[in-house]
Amino acid sequence: MADHEARVVPVLRWEELPEGPVVVLLDQTRLPHEEIEFICTDVPALVGAIRSLTVRGAPLLGIAGAYGVALAATRGFDVEEAAGQLAGARPTAVNLAHGVQRVLDAYRRATAADGDMQRAAAAALAEARALHREDADASGRMAAAGAGLLRELLPGGGYRILTHCNTGRLVSGGEGTAFAVVHAVHRAGELRRLWVDETRPLLQGARLTAYEAARAGMAYTLLTDGAAGSLFAAGEVDAVLIGADRITADGSVANKVGSYPLAVLARYHHVPFIVVAPLTTVDQATEEGSAIEVEQRSGHEVTEVAPGMSVAPLGAQAYNPAFDVTPPELVTALVTEAGVVSPVTAAGLAELCSVSPAGTSRTGNGMMNA
């Protein structure tokens, strides 16, 4: 099935300008109505963009952090200080710290080798570009593995898939994570309907996933987060596909708040609940979900529909966690670029992480009944 996408604005790119290199971002806070680029000439600007969600999505945050270290190195800023600022910009998404550390390590190795700062900066940039390419490759592998899993679990096609938040090219060096799987079955003519949760309070589903689905020519329907239960009850959902911001050693999944209720609904209604994420999202140093630091965001995101436009009484308190955590027993399968693990267990996840991304594997004890 052919895509209907118009000109695609790069989500993130490195650009060499006469006055020096910059990191250029597609400002996701302006979508879907405006495709505006935001130019970061220094690390504080990039950190601000990360915190304001100008750039977002776990894999893309890793790429942004990687280029941020390279930006500091090439512009002659304090690289160690810049790395600390970048890694701490958002605490839950492990990819951010991973991307920062990977490029920082490359910079340190080059510096230790001969002390040539120009060569060290070039090494940092080369490592950031390598991470960018690898993420795009991982996206394609996840798409293929996830589409194969859907066909195994649900033979016959005609899938009605529910997704939450945004997991397409806006979060990745490629076509995304969960949305890349949706894109693969759409191209194969096997997607009947994409159900898009609006994803309160920042509406990443309504603003971003619907934007990507429309550009791809998919049949999609937007729904409020609270309407998902009635959709399951009506038998209108064949599978749930989400991404992840962090996966702990036991297989617990931190993702955009609202994901955990979907997992509970999926289990009750015997619907596969599938998580699609690159191996960089797996944090084996954190043993279980309860140890994840969940980012708490401003209450204004809940009490206001726009700056200064309140929908709640003056002074109303708001609970606004950016993420929730789904325990592994509610996850039917985890799809990565290295293959699929199901059921999701600590042992199965460890085995999966030991496989080179260049290979594929199926770990666990076979497919779990959803």
Between CA 318 and CA 312 the distance in angstroms is: 10
Maximum alpha-carbon separation in the chain: 66
pLDDT tier for residue 1 given thresholds of 50, 70 and 90:
very low
pLDDT at 358: 41
pLDDT at 209: 98
Annotate 10-58 with three-state secondary structure: CCEEEEEECCEEEEEEECCCCCCCCCCEEEECCHHHHHHHHHCCCCCCH
pLDDT at 369: 31
Residue 174 lies in a domain: yes
Domain check: are 299 and 199 in the same one?
yes
Average pLDDT over residues 173-179: 96
Domain check: are 280 and 199 in the same one?
yes
Residue that is last in its domain, among 93, 114, 134:
134
Residue 7 lies in a domain: no
Domain check: are 46 and 167 in the same one?
no
User: Is 250 a catalytic site residue?
Assistant: no
Residue that is last in its domain, among 118, 134, 150:
134
Domain check: are 114 and 180 in the same one?
no
* Helix or strand (DSSP H, E) at 231: helix 228-233
Domain check: are 96 and 239 in the same one?
no
CATH number at residue 96: 1.20.120.420
pLDDT at 344: 97
Q: Sort residue 158 into left (φ over 0), alpha (ψ -120 to 50) or beta.
A: left
pLDDT at 356: 52
The pair of structure tokens assigned to 171 is 């979060």
* Nearest alpha-carbon partner for 97 in 245, 214, 196, 203: 245
Residue 101 lies in a domain: yes
- Enumerate long-range contacts of 50-53, CB under 8 Å, 24 or more apart: 50/86, 50/89, 50/90, 50/96, 51/89, 51/90, 53/28, 53/29, 53/202
Average pLDDT over residues 10-14: 96
The distance of Cα 315 from the centroid of its chain, to the nearest Å, equals: 33
Domain check: are 238 and 216 in the same one?
yes
Residue 368 lies in a domain: no
Question: To the nearest whole percent, how much of the chain has pLDDT over 70?
Answer: 94
Residue 6 lies in a domain: no
Domain check: are 251 and 289 in the same one?
yes
For the chain, state the CA radius of gyration.
20
Between CA 199 and CA 211 the distance in angstroms is: 14
Cβ–Cβ < 8 Å for 149, 274: yes
Domain check: are 108 and 69 in the same one?
yes
pLDDT at 325: 98
Domain check: are 255 and 156 in the same one?
yes
Domain check: are 306 and 193 in the same one?
yes
Domain check: are 167 and 229 in the same one?
yes
Amino acid at 54: T
Structural domain containing residue 37 = 12-134
pLDDT tens, residue by residue, 22-53? 999 999 999 999 999 999 999 999 999 999 99
pLDDT tops 90 at residue 307: no
* Nearest alpha-carbon partner for 126 in 246, 275, 14: 14
The domain tally of the chain equals: 2
Domain check: are 126 and 274 in the same one?
no
Residue 3 lies in a domain: no
CATH number at residue 342: 3.40.50.10470
Residue that is last in its domain, among 111, 134, 157:
134
Active-site annotation holder among 245, 250, 283, 324: 245
